[in-house]
Structure 1
Amino acid sequence: MTFWGLLRAVLRYWPIVVAGAVCTAAAGLAILSDEGVYSTRTEIVFLAPTSPSNPNALRTQSEDVIDMAGVVAKRLTGPGEVPKFAAPDVTLVGLGVRDGWSLRLPDTGGQWSSNFATQRLVLDIVGPTTEAVRERQDELLDRVQGELSALQSERGVADVNRITALAAPETTVIAHVGGSRPRALAMTLALGVGAILTGVLVLERRRLRREFEQGSLLRHGEAAAPARSDRQRVRR
């Protein structure tokens, strides 16, 4: 189709163009009004009880501590299956979540098996404001401490033998996450124009096909009419 043909098609189907332009403008306004989100990823390290033989709790690695961290996470998140991603550093923002939280034990295993090799939980929080994220962060950290204490109290663990949990201070920073508005607007405009032109071209091709079919039927009808007249004259 030539440029002038496309221009005539655009003018012919102007309601489609107007509707597409309104939708594109609405999407652009939504992008301009989007203030982004606030996110934080907090690491909660579980520490084994210290003893004369293990005075440094940070260096003590134990499967029991890892198991305890997993149980605490399960008690907070529920019995549902935890989604497994290709990379353990996937964030909620990367998944498209704009308001929510997740708590999980990092799984570094492959497709067919799991591998929990670190005694820490990863707490991801996303919210519309810094205050909302900080409030939820404090609440969830308190819940982790409460569940850990309750688990050990239920089993009568002495204070000296108790596992403790500590949030890594450098991971509690709340950051603003937002995209590039000029790029988002440019992509929205490109998609909107592309959708409008696609709709116009589809309708124009259907119109041309109908005209071609109608023209073919008329030509066949005109060719068949003289043939019938000739047969009638022969019979007479």
Structure 2
Amino acid sequence: MKTNLPDFLSRRFAQSRYVLTRRWYLAVLAILLMMPGLLYVHNASGVYYSSVNVLFLPPPNAVGGGNTLRAEAGSTVQFAALVERKFNEGRDTQDLPQPTDAHLYATGVKHGIRVYLPNAGGQWQTNFNRAELRVEVVGLSETEVLDNMRTTLDALRSLSLKPQVDMGILEEARITTEMSPDQPMAAYAWVRNSRAEIAVGMIIISVAYAAAHLGDLLISAVGRKRATRKRRRMEFQAASVSVDA
């Protein structure tokens, strides 16, 4: 038998409307329970964000001191990677997303510091060819972000200087660091909530629809079970009366 799609959809719509009319209170309850989620998304605030590149500069012409770290251009990149590993050693970075093309503020992090060696490669192959570290800081206030940025930059300078001092490298032969920009600045990054609100709203509607229909099935099943028990009890009582008669 061939099914007429418009008629089928019309019957399904009428059935759903009937269920929602009967079990409207279940749909309303589901909406009320999930409304805090929509309000949270609607009221979500943005974050303050700051980004600085720490450039590692090889010393000019050899003046002496035996700085083997500057023997090749790649050595400066390796030195920057060493500083990055030393900084991130022991830090709890599990809650921070891995470095990507997305800024830290766009990943949903409200408080965080991320220091990494930029990847100039593509999706299938990494390429770390720049002797620089990227520092990203996010927070809920401008003061918090700038304070954390200054603390992080000071720590990176110290980690860059210490191994060279320990190796006895002369000051004029050391790898130095330069900040870009030289003065950190914080900007406010707005959070675009419209898409999230639409997504949460669709979820709420779906849950309300499902709650009404599942609730109707459960209530109807319980009602049928009670009706069956009642009918059997009445039949049993009627049979007992007939026997007594």
What TM-score, normalized to structure 1?
A: 0.73
Map 1:38-187; keep pairs closer than 5 Å: 38-51=48-61, 62-78=73-89, 88-108=100-120, 114-169=126-181, 172-187=184-199
Residue 106 of structure 1 deviates from its aligned partner by 2.0
Residue 202 of structure 1 deviates from its aligned partner by 1.6
Equivalence for 2:17: 3
Residue 133 of structure 1 deviates from its aligned partner by 0.8
Kindly provide the amino acid, as one letter, of the partner of residue 208 in structure 1.
S
**Equivalent residue pairs, number:** 216
Kindly provide the amino acid, as one letter, of the partner of residue 53 in structure 2.
E
Residue 114 of structure 1 deviates from its aligned partner by 4.5
Moved over 6 A (4+): 80-83, 110-113, 213-219
43-52 or 175-184: which moved more?
175-184
List gaps (5 residues or longer) in structure 1.
53-59, 226-236
> CA separation of 1:95/1:182 partners in 2, compared to 1, >3 Å: closer, same or farther?
closer
User: Within 2, Cα distance between the matches of 1:45 and 1:127?
Assistant: 24
User: Within 2, Cα distance between the matches of 1:74 and 1:144?
Assistant: 11
User: Within 2, Cα distance between the matches of 1:170 and 1:209?
Assistant: 71
Residue 213 of structure 1 deviates from its aligned partner by 6.3
Q: CA contact under 8 A between 2:99 and 2:116: conserved in structure 1? A: no
List gaps (5 residues or longer) in structure 2.
1-14, 63-70, 237-245
Q: CA contact under 8 A between 2:146 and 2:185: conserved in structure 1? A: no
What TM-score, normalized to structure 2?
A: 0.71
Kindly provide the amino acid, as one letter, of the partner of residue 151 in structure 1.
P
Equivalence for 1:21: 32
Residue 93 of structure 1 deviates from its aligned partner by 2.4
User: Within 2, Cα distance between the matches of 1:82 and 1:23?
Assistant: 31
Q: CA contact under 8 A between 1:152 and 1:162: conserved in structure 2? A: yes
User: Within 2, Cα distance between the matches of 1:34 and 1:207?
Assistant: 38
User: Within 2, Cα distance between the matches of 1:86 and 1:133?
Assistant: 20
Kindly provide the amino acid, as one letter, of the partner of residue 212 in structure 2.
V
Q: Give yes or no for the alignment of 1:201 onto 2:238.
A: no
| 1:178-214 superposed Cα distances (whole Å, 9 cap, x missing partner) | 2234554444333323222222222222333455567
Kindly provide the amino acid, as one letter, of the partner of residue 24 in structure 2.
V
Q: CA RMSD in A?
A: 3.8
| 1:25-63 superposed Cα distances (whole Å, 9 cap, x missing partner) | x234434543311112221111111128xxxxxxx9711
User: Within 1, Cα distance between the matches of 2:165 and 2:53?
Assistant: 24
Residue 104 of structure 1 deviates from its aligned partner by 0.9
Q: CA contact under 8 A between 1:21 and 1:192: conserved in structure 2? A: no
For the residue of structure 2 that corresponds to 1:93, the secondary structure is: helix
> CA separation of 1:81/1:157 partners in 2, compared to 1, >3 Å: closer, same or farther?
farther
